[in-house]
Amino acid sequence: MTIQYRVLSLLRDNGPLSRAQLADRLEVPRPRLLGELDRMVAAGRVREAGPAASRGGRRSTLVQLDPGVRFAAVDLGASSIDIEITDGALAPVAACSEPADIRSGPQVVLGRVSELLHALADQGHYTRLDAIGIGLPGPVSFREGVPVSPPIMVGWNRFPVRDTLARAHSCPVVVDNDVNVMSLGEQHSGVARTVDHLLFVKIGSGIGSGMHHHGRIYRGAEGCAGDIGHVQLEADGPLCSCGNTGCLEAYFGGVALSRDATEAAKSGRSPALAERLAERGVLTPVDVAECANGGDGTSVGLIRAGGHRVGQVLATLVSFMNPSMIVIGGGLAGLGYPLLAEIRSVVYKRSLPLATGNLPIVMSGLGPRAGVVGAALLASELAYGEASVTGDAEPPVR
Binding site for a second copy (CB under 8 A): 139, 148-149, 196-197, 209, 211, 213-214, 218-228, 230-232, 244, 312-313, 315-317, 319-324, 350, 352, 354-355, 357-359, 395, 398
Phi (first) and psi of residue 198, to 5 degrees: -95, 135
Min CB(334)–a second copy separation in Å = 25
In this complex, which beta carbon is closest to a second copy, that of residue 35 or of residue 395?
395
In this complex, which beta carbon is closest to a second copy, that of residue 248 or of residue 274?
248
Min CB(218)–a second copy separation in Å = 7
127 burial class (0-12, 13-18, 19+ CB within 10 angstroms)?
A: exposed
Q: What does the alpha-carbon distance between residue 92 and residue 89 come to, in Å, rounded to a whole number?
A: 9
Distance from the Cα of residue 105 to its chain's centroid: 22
CB 179 within 8 A of CB 209: yes
- Which run of H or E residues covers position 266? helix 254-266
CB 139 within 8 A of CB 148: yes
Q: What does the alpha-carbon distance between residue 36 and residue 52 come to, in Å, rounded to a whole number?
A: 19
- Sheet with 325-329, side-by-side order of all strands: 216-217, 207-213, 197-203, 325-329, 361-363
17 burial class (0-12, 13-18, 19+ CB within 10 angstroms)?
A: buried
Min CB(149)–a second copy separation in Å = 7
Min CB(71)–a second copy separation in Å = 29
In this complex, which beta carbon is closest to a second copy, that of residue 80 or of residue 232?
232
Min CB(31)–a second copy separation in Å = 18
In this complex, which beta carbon is closest to a second copy, that of residue 114 or of residue 232?
232
In this complex, which beta carbon is closest to a second copy, that of residue 15 or of residue 396?
396
Min CB(72)–a second copy separation in Å = 29
Give the number of other Cβ atoms within 10 Å of residue 35's Cβ.
12
Give the number of other Cβ atoms within 10 Å of residue 193's Cβ.
13
Min CB(215)–a second copy separation in Å = 12
In this complex, which beta carbon is closest to a second copy, that of residue 97 or of residue 319?
319
Q: What does the alpha-carbon distance between residue 375 and residue 392 come to, in Å, rounded to a whole number?
A: 19
In this complex, which beta carbon is closest to a second copy, that of residue 239 or of residue 352?
352
197 burial class (0-12, 13-18, 19+ CB within 10 angstroms)?
A: middle
Min CB(231)–a second copy separation in Å = 5
Q: What does the alpha-carbon distance between residue 59 and residue 53 come to, in Å, rounded to a whole number?
A: 7
Min CB(354)–a second copy separation in Å = 5
Q: What does the alpha-carbon distance between residue 269 and residue 54 come to, in Å, rounded to a whole number?
A: 71
In this complex, which beta carbon is closest to a second copy, that of residue 170 or of residue 194?
194
In this complex, which beta carbon is closest to a second copy, that of residue 101 or of residue 222?
222
